[in-house]
Amino acid sequence: MTDERRYRVYTPGDESALTLEQAPSAEPGRGQVRVRHTAIGLNFIDIYHRSGLYPLDAPFGLGLEAAGVVDAIGPGVSGWREGDRVAYCSGPPGAYADSHVVPADRLLALPDGLEDEVAAATLLKGLTAAYLLHHTYPLKAGETLLWHAAAGGVGLLACQWAKHLGARVIGTVGSQAKADLAMARGCDTVILYRDEDVVERVRELTAGQGVPVVYDSVGKDTFEASLDCLAPRGLMVSFGNASGAVPPFSPLLLSQKGSLFFTRPTLAHYTTTRDELVALADLWFDAVLSGAVQVDINQRYALNEIPRAHRDLAGRNTTGASVIIP
Ligand SMILES: NC(=O)c1ccc[n+]([C@@H]2O[C@H](COP(=O)([O-])OP(=O)(O)OC[C@H]3O[C@@H](n4cnc5c(N)ncnc54)[C@H](OP(=O)(O)O)[C@@H]3O)[C@@H](O)[C@H]2O)c1
């Protein structure tokens, strides 16, 4: 057994909670494989885990996705061989490491032509965009949607995909540089939500009607405005909390604002079976390999730079996807 690097969190908190350790590589148990990482993904959920917003039993590893090769196989596993190129995006947390042991039935084979870095940087984000656009609200050509944080990791992929599906995409972003990027990647219109009144702009852009669906991962800061941007019987898809969790609200609010629908989806519940996982991954791989969605990996970090990566992501200083190279 050789020692390798991995991050652990003993007490949830800010970036200083991230402790880089040396430990022997773990051996896979029944139904598990060990993946030696070539590239690791960075996601906002890693920050919720680290900070304790999404509680985990301490001490815990961090990071949900990576790509690499199978380098050890536990008892009872069939269908995988050492050396297979694979990726995963559903944990258990611990991808911030040289290698990680994961359930064999959560692994995905990487198609030829898809680079490890692209898979690691976008699998979780791409599968999220896939279920949000195809299942949570099956988007139809000609419909208009509002997507917050359009220049972010999930946002940049999803807006391009929505455009490819024939939708009209209104995005929100935090700066002019992000607006330029979002416009180059699928948005028809961009609203600078730190300067402009989002509700007013969306009403103007939709002849007063509002949109049938809002995809909101910003959470606390955008919640009320998002509801006010919806047409009667529209769907509010609240899928993240980058600015903090949405506070509790009364169902009456949905009635007052137009008999609205509200959902708080998470990728895990759209990939409960292996068939669901593989079907979403196929949709995503096809979107990338066909060129329908371009992948922008705009930040790169070494494994020992993850505290800086977290600061950049939480500080709104990133665009598109990030990758960590062990
Ligand atoms: N439910 C699910 O299944 C699921 C799966 C994956 C991701 N998500 C969620 O999707 C969102 C995007 O994830 P990501 O990893 O791709 O991150 P990201 O979009 O690259 O980064 C978050 C972005 O949110 C915006 N933001 C607005 N207010 C913020 C604040 N107070 N603090 C920090 N950021 C703020 C920033 O863009 P601007 O500067 O343009 O405002 C920032 O760049 C996250 O909320 C994540 O939790 C949910």
Encode pLDDT of 153-211 as tens digits.
Answer: 999 999 999 999 999 999 999 999 999 999 999 999 999 999 999 999 999 999 999 99
Does the pTM surpass 0.85? The reply is yes
Any atom of ligand 1 within 6 Å of the Cβ of 151: yes
Question: Within a domain: residue 131?
Answer: no
Q: Is it the case that residue 100 has pLDDT exceeding 80?
A: yes
Question: Within a domain: residue 286?
Answer: yes
Question: How much of the chain exceeds pLDDT 90, in percent?
Answer: 98
Same domain membership, residue 225 and residue 190: yes
Same domain membership, residue 255 and residue 172: yes
Any atom of ligand 1 within 6 Å of the Cβ of 43: yes
Average pLDDT, the chain: 97
Q: How many whole angstroms from 219 Cα to the centroid of ligand 1? A: 9
Same domain membership, residue 227 and residue 198: yes
Last residue in a domain, options 211, 246, 264 = 264
Domain extent at residue 305:
3-122+271-325
Q: Which atom of ligand 1 is nearest to the CA of 173?
A: 40
Over residues 288-297, mean pLDDT: 98
Residue 146: which of 269, 250, 234, 253 has the closest Cα? 234
Question: Within a domain: residue 135?
Answer: no
Q: Is it the case that residue 1 has pLDDT exceeding 90?
A: no
Same domain membership, residue 310 and residue 253: no
User: Is the Cβ–Cβ distance between 211 and 202 less than 8 Å?
Assistant: yes
- Scanning the structure block, which residue is given the tokens 């949000």? 132
Any atom of ligand 1 within 6 Å of the Cβ of 41: no
Read out DSSP for 236-263? EEE---TT-PPPP--THHHHHTTS-EEE
Query: What are residue 324's DSSP bridge partners?
Result: 40, 301
Name the residue with higher pLDDT: 133 or 1: 133
pLDDT at 311: 98
Q: How many whole angstroms from 66 Cα to the centroid of ligand 1? A: 19
Q: Which atom of ligand 1 is nearest to the CA of 265?
A: 1
Same domain membership, residue 77 and residue 39: yes
Tens-place pLDDT, residues 44-63 = 999 999 999 999 999 999 99
Q: C-alpha angle 303/309/311, rounded to 5°?
A: 140
CATH code for position 171: 3.40.50.720
Same domain membership, residue 116 and residue 156: no
Over residues 285-303, mean pLDDT: 98
pLDDT at 137: 98
Q: How many whole angstroms from 86 Cα to the centroid of ligand 1? A: 26
| pLDDT band at residue 91 using 50, 70 and 90 as cut-offs | confident
Any atom of ligand 1 within 6 Å of the Cβ of 153: yes
Domain count, the chain: 2
